[in-house]
Structure formats: structure tokens, C-alpha cells
Structure 1
């Protein structure tokens, strides 16, 4: 039996772009966006934890083959896809990835269906910052950034960039100031994150909630899973989405 056999497969289309989706659970909506190289077994395991906590989880498949593990071939294929696709921004500062618009549409659709104060949005690794881009839409009430790593921190400037246009950053700051906090998880020695947590703290102040761990590992809720991070995320969703 495959890890996704109990999930309902569907799709979402916005502005002519279609991606597969996988859905499971009941309760407020949470969109879980997979990391590189794709919807791996550890990503699915985390999503199952969110389902078990009483949420409707939708996982969009943006790249990679579902249920394939992390290996050199899957990593190489994923990096090739994201580096050439126009949907993603990996090496440019001051831009919001075009995929954010598609993800906002998915969030609006889920919120319209389920109601409540909004939906949760969680990205990880390269997709970690996508939840910030989604937060521009008021349908997103609980944005979570797990080790946000794009644009790739190959220069100091890129390592400080939040993957947002100036206009979107202004909206994110306003929403945070108006009571929509942002949760972030990371290992403090992770070089892929650059200085983004420092920038988020400067821009959002106390509305940026940090859950941090010592060391140079990377994937806080998947390959290098920390149960404290998982618990903090579930509590955040509970507080923000079940009001």
C-alpha cells in the first residue's frame, strides 16, 4: 500500500496552470507545500500528523514524483525543474515567485469551501518562503516557514532576501501588524537559510515566532525532524485556525 493511497487525488487550475493535489482529513484547511525533491515519504508523514490533529490537508504537487525518496537522481531532477521553470524564483532578489499566485488561488478555494478565519500555509526548504507570498491573500491566516531557502543563498544579498516583491513585503508587514503572526522553524547553523530569520525579525518584530534548534542540519519537520517543531506548528494552526 502506497503512502498516498488513502489520500484523494485532484487538481487545481488557475490562470491556465494546473497542478495535481492530494487531500485528506476534516476541519480547517492547511496547505502543505513539499520540499525538494518532491512529495517524499517524510513530507507525507508530516502531512499525516496535521490530518491527525484535526485539519483538512491539501498537498499540491509542484515537481517531483510522489512517494519517491531523497536520492541523487531525484534531487538532480528537481533542481533542474525549479531552476528552469518560470514558476519559481531561485536566483533573483526582490521578486515574488509566480507560483505564489497559483497557491493563493488554491488557498482561496479551500477557504471558500471550509470557512473559518482562514487556512494554514506551510512551505519547507525551497518552498519555505512561499507561505509569505501566500499571506498576501487574506484567506491565509496561519503562515509557516520551515527553513526558507529561496532564493538560493549563494550571495549575501540573496541570503537576506525574503522572496517577496516590495509591494508584497509591505502587505505581509501590514497583515502581521494587524494580527496575523508568522511561524518559522530552522537549525541555527543551516547555511541554506542565510540571514532570512534576522530579516524577518527586523521586518515583523514580535509577530515573527521562531522555533530554533542548534546545529547545521536542515529539514526540521522531515529528514531531520524535530518533534518540538511539529508540535509548535500544530499548536500554531490550532490557535490561528480554530478560533
Structure 2
């Protein structure tokens, strides 16, 4: 029987305890939603980095037209980078490597690095993530990591974790042991009902994005289960497109 736990913030990751576990990272507004949409819309791969300086170093010695730099810090687009806006990026990413730096989501992915496997999840691909977990990790311990926002709890990430848990638990022939945090995330999602857009719009980060005139992106991100794809971190530390069988391949030592 697999076990499922939810962490409320990336700062709660214990790098020793997460070893051997399966990590599913949520930064619904915006990083993991941008990752999911970016790969769906044709990016070759997405390389998550900690900050702008690391992104520039990652770009060194690459063919100029083979990549794009995408990044923000505390909601402000980094100088010389594109904004991690999933809809606006659509026309820039075809067959290119995206080097992505964000305040929370890419940092959470790095902190989860000791895990046996790392997936990127959002509302957009929640059903596909749940299917991949059922297919490949029914006997593993799964840690759903809410990235949070600059050390604070983020309602939209918790809601996203609850959505994936609800999809996961709808399969009656697979049993899961849930911690109280996981149980609460699912109950929060179920209690919110069909209010996905309101959850995102009323969250602190959602309100900030509205000040940046990004309402259209919020409505896009609020769509549940529209992409049948599961980004996972491969041996080159790049996020690539996978499906139910995306467990095959790299496992950290």
C-alpha cells in the first residue's frame, strides 16, 4: 500500500527524509502550470534553475537560437528574460530549451532533488499525474509538495494537491494511506466544489497576477485535467514530457 503526504511549503522539505520518495511539485500560479503548458505547446525541454544568475550560466555555450530565458523574481520579470506567462510563451517555445527561473516553483523542484522521482503538477494535468502515480507508484511514499509563496502557504497549491488526491483516490482498486495533511487537502478541494476560478482569483498570488493584468492566464490555468501529460525530471536535470509510463529511466542514486 502506498502512502501519501502533503507539504504546505517548499521550506518544509527535509532533504534526507525525501530520499527514496516520489515528489510531486505544485506551483499552480505559475511555475508548474507554465512547465506543463510549455511542454504541451512544443518546448523541447524545460530546465529549472534557482535564480537568474544560474539561468545565465546554464545558457553559456548554447547555440543562441536553441533556447529562451524565462524568469521572474517576486512577480517581476527578470531583465533580459521573458515572463513565465503560459499563454504569451506559446509562440516562443517551439522545439526550444526553456531555461526557467522562478521565485518558488523551480526552487521547490531543486529542494526536492534527492527524491527518487520528481514530477511537475498543476490543475491542467492533475488527472494525468494521478494516473501516473497509480500506474507506477502504488507501493511508494508520495510527497505532494506545495511550493508556497516566499515562505508562506499558498491556497492554490493546496487546492491543486487536493485535486490530484481526489483523482488518485477515485480508483477503487488501489488503496492509499493518507496523512492528515493529505486528507485535509482532499477535503478542501472537495469542499470548494466547482469554484476553481474563484480559488485562484482570491488567492494572494492570484490577486498579484490580476494587478499585472494576467486574468486570462488565471482562467487558463484553472482548467482541470485538460492535458494528458506528466513532466518529469530526467537524468540531465531537465523537465521533459511523459505519460503514464514516465517512470522508466533515471533514478537518482
Q: Common fold, TM-score beyond 0.5?
A: no
Identify the structure with bigger relative contact order (alpha carbons < 8 Å, sequence gap 6+): 2
